[in-house]
Amino acid sequence: MHTPVRTAFWRITLFSLLSLSFFSSRGMCDLSPEPLRRAPEIKGSTWFNVDQYPHISLKSLRGNVILLIFWDSQDLVSAEVMQKINALRDRYKDRGLEVIGVHDSGWGLNVSEAMVLNKIRELDIRFPVVMDSEGTMRVAYDYLGGESLFLIDRKGYIRGQFIVGLPWKDIELMLQMLLEEGHSRQWELYEKKKVKGV
């Protein structure tokens, strides 16, 4: 019996395979489950909204599902998009979701920390944001611009890439699937092996 989460997963995967040549050339969507790619570590010049975090890195957050959103304050970033991200964080943080924003300013634009901070306040962004002044993260994640989401599983692998605009319902169902993986017997065995150093 197919659950709504699994049905949505296969529907998204089928859509991705059917339109791979079109979307991959434009960086719009890449949901292929194989091969899995380890998410590059988070690097940046300045962090915002990190008072409750002693240190942020993918390694320190291992065991959580990470929603990584790339954005640029010079683009027409919709407040509605950030409100949806805030809502997802509030809804799933107790189940192991962490949200991190990456402000991309590596396109030769002169963007100051004050400008980014003002935009964060204007858009009411409530999650940690790192300023990628040199474009290091953009290159590492093959980010092509616009508001892009990456879903990283509890083991640190990229499991989904979206350009904002794909139905939020599908993004949320994919997120739910990754969160549910953390409660599987297979994950429990993985954790025990990691503790034992196997």
pLDDT above 70 coverage of the chain, percent = 68
Higher pLDDT, 58 or 3: 58
**46 within domain boundaries:** yes
Q: What are phi and psi of 150, to 5 degrees?
A: -120, 135
Q: What pLDDT is recorded for position 19?
A: 39
> How sure is the predictor about 29, in pLDDT bands with cuts at 50, 70 and 90?
very low
**115 within domain boundaries:** yes
Tens of pLDDT along 101-143? 999 876 656 788 999 999 999 999 999 999 988 888 988 998 7
What CATH number did the domain enclosing 136 receive? 3.40.30.10
Q: What pLDDT is recorded for position 14?
A: 41
Q: Which of 3-17, 60-74, 84-98, 142-156 has the lowest mean pLDDT?
A: 3-17
Q: What pLDDT is recorded for position 108?
A: 57
Asked if pLDDT for residue 167 goes beyond 70, the answer is: yes
**26 within domain boundaries:** yes
Q: Which of 167, 163, 125, 156 is nearest to 142 (CA)?
A: 163
Q: What pLDDT is recorded for position 101?
A: 94
**176 within domain boundaries:** yes
The mean pLDDT value for 22-37 works out to 52
**109 within domain boundaries:** yes
Domain that holds residue 158: 4-193
**82 within domain boundaries:** yes
Which residues partner with 68 through β-bridges?
100, 150
**118 within domain boundaries:** yes
Report the C-alpha gap between 63 and 192 in whole angstroms: 13
Q: What pLDDT is recorded for position 185?
A: 43
Locate 21 and state its tokens. 């040549």
Q: Which of 90, 94, 67, 69 is nearest to 148 (CA)?
A: 69
The mean pLDDT value for 164-187 works out to 77
Number of domains in the chain: 1
**198 within domain boundaries:** no
Q: What pLDDT is recorded for position 148?
A: 86
